[in-house]
Structure 1
Amino acid sequence: MSDTSSLHDVLPGGFSGAPPGRRRAGRQQRKRRKQRRRRTTTVLLVSLVVAGGGVYGAYLAISPIVERLTEPKDYAGPGSGEVLVVIPEGASGRVMAQELADKGVVKTPVAFIDAVAADKRGAGIQPGNYNLKLEMSAAGALDILADPANRIVAKVTIPEGTRLADALNVIAKKLDLDPKELRAAAESGDIGLPKAAKGNLEGFLYPATYEFGPDVTAESALAQMVKRGQQTYDKLGIPDNKLRKVVIEASLLEAEAGTEQYMGKVARVIENRVQSGMNLQFDSTVSYATGKFNVTTTPQDRESNSPYNTYKFPGLPAGPISNPGEAALAAALNPTPGKWKFFVTTNPDTGETKFANDFAQHQVYVKEFQAWLQANPGN
């Protein structure tokens, strides 16, 4: 018996150990198992790829957020270039921070807010115009803003009782404005004048100290001064229908009262003389009409036909003769009670003024004034 025969005896059916039909079925099962393994591997690979793609997509989505959270929120250096920043009146720290960020001064509003929170000087930042650097640190920006000396302002002071022509000269010089443009603006009617002004700025250019930024114009400067006057009228409670009268009388007080302490009494003299039909006979009104500034006037001056000549015409002058301040306005609105009809400043150097109910007593005081004139020629 051969070796092959013995194998057949051990494994019936030959080498396969199975009939031909079963062999085919086995091969098909093995093939299906391989296919299932390949599909499983493919699904796993696809799942891994999809999962990997999702992670990558998520990374792409959040990476800007991560960068924003991790990147510095402030510039480190002193900055470069120059940019004008305007801090508005009453601006909060957040408003300032946003303005600085918008202008490219600080990197983020948060950087400046943090700097202000850590430095008590932040509470003292004044409104105004400032020159700052581009891309500077928030602390550096605060250093500049916290120092009032860094504010870009031009100050203009108009003293009480200043005539309009003189005030315009001061404004033009201090703000480097064209005098012609300033006069044109004063006459334009576009500066917020109240109706009581009748289109004339004299008397309604409120005397005070003003600050202006580099972008000031003739119109904006005058409008600000007129607005300040309106705020004062409202504060004092001057009715619109009395405003012109009060301003005219107040302008006379600035010229005639000498000092603030006499304004109420001089206002009463004006009221008493006008109500009794007496001419005011104020040299200040004649000086205004003639364009002079002397303490006294000449007989020729007093013959002027100007409606401002209170020697020649009864009642108040045609309009204000200067720009009065708050004290004069308050006195004109509420004169001191009394019967005085005469007064004279006996010493213009000190402003000493004396009041009388009758002409005889007044003449005594006039002689004191004349004695001062002799001692001070040229006035």
Structure 2
Amino acid sequence: MKFLTIGVLLLVIFLGFFVWQGIYLPLDVNGQESLFSVEKGQNAFQIAENLEREEMVKNSFFFSFYAVTSGNATKLKTGDYFLSPSLTVANIVKKIASGDTATVTVTIPEGWTVAQIEERLGVELSSDLEGFLFPDTYNFSVNYSEKDVAEAMRENFERKLDSELHREIEKQGKTIHQIVTMASIIEKEVRTSQDKELVAGILWKRLEAGIPLQVDATITYITGKRTTKVSTEDTQIDSPYNTYRYRGLPAGPISNPGLEAILASVYPKSSEYWYYLSTPEGKTIFSITLPEHNEAKALHLK
């Protein structure tokens, strides 16, 4: 009986060490990191089998056992993870349970167009989203889709355009589309917050007076040229975005503006100015009369 007890005890110790080793020692300390996907609806046992198949763990049992006994079996989250055989089973369980998915960080600058965002991210987005994709820094899953990008950027836009702004826009008798279109122009035209407010005041005033906006940025949006220079021929292009040829706002936004430009569009600054231009150095020159404006052009835009 004594020997049987000792035998059982030794067996328990051996099994305990075997399980401990499987959970807390990595399969390969020099293992390379790779992407592992947890699909929607997969349970701990299915995930364990895939981990063993992809040689992340020695045996699926250890993952399943630890996931259940640690209370994480129902907490495992869908997503893509950077895993390696150099991680212990315990670490892998914790990583997947915490949702520590593999991501890429991308910064979209103010004033970028849908086309530029598509080029940067390698996705195809609807042109209808122009103006409504908020420029910001995003963390996307490494396997992000067009839907992921559009939803994240559009939802961010909706958060930034809060209820107070919605009420103010409605109070002014304007639409979100008009405000964003104006903001997209301002974003492309000038740099500083003060200049944006003044230019917004000038452009809204010109609209009310029935004067063509004649904004160069709308022409470069049509041509796709990444230059500030606009030719006389360019201004004759027949397009609803051509603010030289057609009065009023262009057909829609010409970029994706940041909050500063949106606020300037909603809260423009009144002034005596009717004209402005941006120098090659980025300075904005304001003028009251057309002769003053022409003189400024001759001086600064040689």
TM-score (norm 2): 0.69
Aligned residue among 130, 139, 152 for 2:81 = 130
Aligned residue among 115, 136, 155 for 2:105 = 155
Structure with the bigger RCO (C-alpha within 8 Å, sep 6+) is 2
Q: Would you say how many aligned residue pairs link Structure 1 and Structure 2?
A: 249
Partner of 1:319: 252
- Over 3 Å counting, the alpha-carbon distance change for 1:234 and 1:77 in structure 2 is same
Partner of 1:207: 135
Partners of 2:67 and 2:93 within 8 A in 1: no
Deviation sequence 1:131-174 (CA, Å, 0-9, x none): 346893536766x79xxxx86222333221112222211110xx
Q: C-alpha displacement at 1:358, in angstroms?
A: 2.3
Percent of residue pairs identical? 28
Partners of 2:35 and 2:80 within 8 A in 1: no
Aligned residue among 111, 114, 122 for 1:164 = 114
Partners of 2:202 and 2:270 within 8 A in 1: no
Partners of 1:158 and 1:209 within 8 A in 2: yes
In the aligned structure 1, how far is the partner of 2:140 from the partner of 2:233?
43
In the aligned structure 2, how far is the partner of 1:84 from the partner of 1:268?
53
Q: C-alpha displacement at 1:108, in angstroms?
A: 4.2
Between structure 1 and structure 2, the one with the greater Rg is 1
Larger helix percent: 1
Amino acid at match of 1:303: Q
- Over 3 Å counting, the alpha-carbon distance change for 1:140 and 1:201 in structure 2 is closer
Alignment of 1:335-354 (within 5 A): 335-345=268-278, 347-349=279-281, 351-354=282-285
Partners of 2:83 and 2:92 within 8 A in 1: no
Q: C-alpha displacement at 1:205, in angstroms?
A: 2.2
List structure 1 runs of 4+ shifted beyond 4 angstroms: 70-74, 79-83, 99-106, 108-113, 139-142
Partner of 1:77: 25
In the aligned structure 2, how far is the partner of 1:109 from the partner of 1:305?
67
- Over 3 Å counting, the alpha-carbon distance change for 1:100 and 1:83 in structure 2 is farther
RMSD between superposed Cα atoms in Å: 3.5
- Over 3 Å counting, the alpha-carbon distance change for 1:138 and 1:272 in structure 2 is same
5+ long unaligned stretches in structure 2:
1-11, 49-62, 73-77
Partners of 1:285 and 1:317 within 8 A in 2: yes
In the aligned structure 1, how far is the partner of 2:256 from the partner of 2:164?
16
1:370 aligns with 2:286: no
- Over 3 Å counting, the alpha-carbon distance change for 1:78 and 1:236 in structure 2 is farther
TM-score (norm 1): 0.56
Q: C-alpha displacement at 1:235, in angstroms?
A: 6.6
